[in-house]
Structure 1
Amino acid sequence: MAVPKASGFVLTGSATEVARRLRTVRLAVSAVFFVTGATFATWASRVPAVQDRLDLSAGQLAVALVGLSSGAFLALPLMGGLVARYGSRTVLCVGMVAYLTALVGLALVPGLALLTVALALFACGNTAVDVAMNTQGVLVERAYARPVLGGFHAMFSLGGIVGAGVGGLVAWAGVGTGPHFAGAAVVLCAVAGAAVTALVPEPKRAARADRAARSGEEPGPLLALPGPGLWIPGLVGFCALMGEGVVNDWGAVYLHEEAGASAGAAGVGFAVFSAGMVIGRLAADRVRSRIGTSGFTAGCAAVAAVGGAVPVAVPTAFAGFVGYGLLGLGMAAVVPVVFSHAADLRPERPGPAIAAVSAVGYVGFLAGPPVIGFLTEATGLRTAMLVLPALMLVMAALAARLRRPVTGR
């Protein structure tokens, strides 16, 4: 038995051997997603400690965080081209080393300027791993011939929960960021290193290059930019990630200022949103396999639209918890679904397709919080939060226009 050629994997042997190997690869990709989420949460959970150590004002911290967003946004188009040329496993290995090394550097930088540079490098490493691991996830999904990418993203969320939980515990114990980040990097590097050895490389790129040279074809572009067919999934991702960015930065503020929740209860709102994300991602693959990409995405948008409307219509803490839970549930699997859809539209170059869609989506993630801030100044926070259900309705309309992938799935 052999894995279908279209999957991108080359696995041969008996049915039992191939099935066992695929399970191993799937577990390895899950571990990489977990490590990636845990690494970012390790940093995020100790931002106040880094701010205190460097004696940064809120404005100075905001300047440093520009390095994080800029590094990610600028690296996205490049990483897709690198994955296409050198393979997702190679890019993942290099990116993971850079990612974890930069994590340690964040605890050692002496001032604002170097913190900004370190955050940019941290974001570049994260972006390399993100594009490469999603490409690996798509290859596994093709080998299984059914949706599995949502489960991988659930592992990312679980890694984030574990990383944040450990970060809270070590902060409570008074452990500095240096020992914390170094210890986390060693453990996570060991897990990632073991996982990477189980990944399967794509077909030989040298052979593809030889065929291209003999036929006079030019190699693919290094920069991955949206092309025909990719704008719709990119805009769907834009809506989902813009909504996620709004909840991340304004969700707790809304519960506290408009719904009358205490500061502690407002924080619980984000935990409810995160729990909804995990549950949605765990259930996504099974539901999507039954109703298809377009119907699934439209249904997710409808659930999220209700979730966005409830806290605005009924500004209480309880309604906010219900709404945030529905928002997390509805938005959870949209990004992995559009990644999978985009990769199916470009079956020979899934990495650049994922990177191009990510770049469009990430614009929404960056734009959402400032848009809410501007609208809050002009109309008030409660009115500004109507952006959430509006975004979800736009996403539902776009879902109907998702072009059928060439694989027919």
Structure 2
Amino acid sequence: MGNKPDATHDLTSGLPGAETAPRPGSRPGESGPPPSAPTHTPPRAARVAVCAVFFVTGAAFATWAARVPAIQDRLGLSEGQLAVALVGLSSGAFLGLPLVGGLVARYGSRAVLFAGMTVYLAALTGLAFAPDLPTLTVALALFACGNTAVDVSMNTQGVLVERAYGRNILGGFHAMFSLGGIAGAVAGSLAASAGIGTRPHFTMTALVLCVVVAGAATALIPEPQGRAEDAGPLFALPSAGLWIPGLVAFCALMGEGVMNDWGAVYLHDVTGASPGAAGIGFALFSAGMVVGRLCADRIRARTGTVRFTLGCALVAAAGAVVSISVPTTAAGFAGYSLLGLGMAAVIPVVFSHAAGLRPDRPGPAIAAVSAVGYVGFLAGPPVIGGLAEAVDLRAAMLVLPALMGVMALLSLSLRRR
């Protein structure tokens, strides 16, 4: 995964002052968006196209998430059987991450994005037609594999657009993912309330999202194709310089996984919130994520990567401390808002940083960091569950401020290597 001078030169050649001009949004010794990549696609059109892809990806996943109870009821699955099916979701995502980076390096992010989106949306429809538990598990694994391919390739496209703009914009793309998730969740709720089955709902959603992606297809940025032997191995772990951003991603995604699975449970069981109030708490966390991602690019441009990531960790840590030290619903609402705000932009910033460390191979760099981060995402919920059994849930949630403290320390090492 080492830098290749010739490939790096190709990304910056022809740009006035490309070798000497400072990169916007960075401080000396820090990574920011590398200089513009050559493209025949107008940057604004490419930006709109990548926004559309992020939105579609979030909407598709939320479509599934919002209708899990309906699929569970249709197949008559117990909670344990549903947990078995969800193993397909997590394992498919995790196992595909290191492989996708090599595919992006060989065939380009645009080609991998199209292939991944085809699998992703086809599998979304397949989820609604799965006749039994084994089929559902396989469909979830395919759904996760497609999502993984789209995730890495759309972030690579986001980095290419960021280079074309010469300033930080990746956080805005991740905000579109969150907005797509909200749209998918609302549509799923309305479909469920109207008594619409998952088969027509998922099929129609997949068709609509396919049309949106097709419209965005022509504006995505093509990448120079290198020889397969120069692309590196298909399956690779992070190189030495990528472990620090990978560990930052680990802390951020572990915290996000904990909040996704245990945030509402904590409010209900520890603070005595009603189920509706617990749902509001998670909604506030999600809203904080959206606001943080919308504001991230401008703030990072002024502060630089290191100070921005450190600030995110401290804000999130403050939110965790507030919600745990004062076990009331109101304190939980305030703490969850801060947690969402602090965690929101860590992943897009780390992806942008990793791509800057490997400007000739942004896809594999993003995939390697994602692979480390996803271990945390998978590990967080069961760790909390085990600790809650051993002590209690309130004590178990102390993992959150500990994670944010570690992330703050790691952020000080987020410098170009």
Q: TM-score, normalization: structure 1?
A: 0.93
Provide the rounded CA distance (Å) in 2 between the counterparts of 1:324 and 1:97.
35
1:63-78 matched pairs, under 5 angstroms: 63-78=84-99
Provide the rounded CA distance (Å) in 1 between the counterparts of 2:99 and 2:135.
23
Aligned CA distance change for structure 1 residues 3 and 61 (closer, same or farther; 3 Å): farther
Q: Which residue of structure 2 lines up, in the alignment, with residue 57 of structure 1?
A: 78
Match of 1:292 among 304, 308, 312: 304
Q: Which residue of structure 1 lines up, in the alignment, with residue 38 of structure 2?
A: 10
Match of 1:377 among 389, 395, 405: 389
Provide the rounded CA distance (Å) in 1 between the counterparts of 2:202 and 2:15.
40
SS of aligned partner of 2:241: coil
Q: Please state how far the C-alpha of 1:144 moved relative to its aligned partner.
A: 1.2
**Length, aligned pairs only:** 389
Deviations 1:245-294 (A, max 9, x none): 00100010110010110011001111000000000000000000111001
Query: Gaps (5+ residues) in structure 2?
Result: 1-12, 19-33
Note if contact 1:9-1:201 (Cα within 8 Å) is conserved in structure 2. no
SS of aligned partner of 1:199: coil
Q: Which residue of structure 2 lines up, in the alignment, with residue 312 of structure 1?
A: 324
Higher relative contact order (CA 8 A, sep 6+): 2
Q: Which residue of structure 2 lines up, in the alignment, with residue 234 of structure 1?
A: 246
Q: Which residue of structure 2 lines up, in the alignment, with residue 200 of structure 1?
A: 221
Provide the rounded CA distance (Å) in 2 between the counterparts of 1:78 and 1:349.
14
Deviations 1:116-175 (A, max 9, x none): 000000000000000000000011111111110000000000000000000000000000
Paired amino acid for 2:207 = V
Q: CA RMSD in A?
A: 1.5
Note if contact 2:39-2:222 (Cα within 8 Å) is conserved in structure 1. no
Q: Which residue of structure 1 lines up, in the alignment, with residue 62 of structure 2?
A: 41
Q: Which residue of structure 1 lines up, in the alignment, with residue 184 of structure 2?
A: 163
Q: Please state how far the C-alpha of 1:68 moved relative to its aligned partner.
A: 0.1
Deviations 1:94-129 (A, max 9, x none): 110110000000000100001000000000000000
Q: Establish whether residue 387 from structure 1 lines up as the match of residue 415 from structure 2.
A: no
Q: Establish whether residue 265 from structure 1 lines up as the match of residue 270 from structure 2.
A: no
Deviations 1:10-33 (A, max 9, x none): 336xxxxx8xx1111001000000
Aligned CA distance change for structure 1 residues 133 and 366 (closer, same or farther; 3 Å): same
Q: Which runs of 4+ in 1 moved over 2 A?
A: 1-12
Match of 1:146 among 167, 182, 187: 167
Q: Which residue of structure 2 lines up, in the alignment, with residue 91 of structure 1?
A: 112
Q: Which residue of structure 1 lines up, in the alignment, with residue 204 of structure 2?
A: 183
Provide the rounded CA distance (Å) in 1 between the counterparts of 2:161 and 2:395.
43
Q: Please state how far the C-alpha of 1:7 moved relative to its aligned partner.
A: 4.9
**What is the percent sequence identity of the aligned residues?**
72
Q: Which residue of structure 2 lines up, in the alignment, with residue 364 of structure 1?
A: 376
Paired amino acid for 1:250 = W
Paired amino acid for 1:155 = M
Q: Establish whether residue 351 from structure 1 lines up as the match of residue 363 from structure 2.
A: yes
Provide the rounded CA distance (Å) in 2 between the counterparts of 1:349 and 1:223.
14
Q: Please state how far the C-alpha of 1:366 moved relative to its aligned partner.
A: 0.3
Q: Please state how far the C-alpha of 1:228 moved relative to its aligned partner.
A: 1.2
Paired amino acid for 1:291 = T
Aligned CA distance change for structure 1 residues 8 and 147 (closer, same or farther; 3 Å): closer
Q: Please state how far the C-alpha of 1:2 moved relative to its aligned partner.
A: 6.9
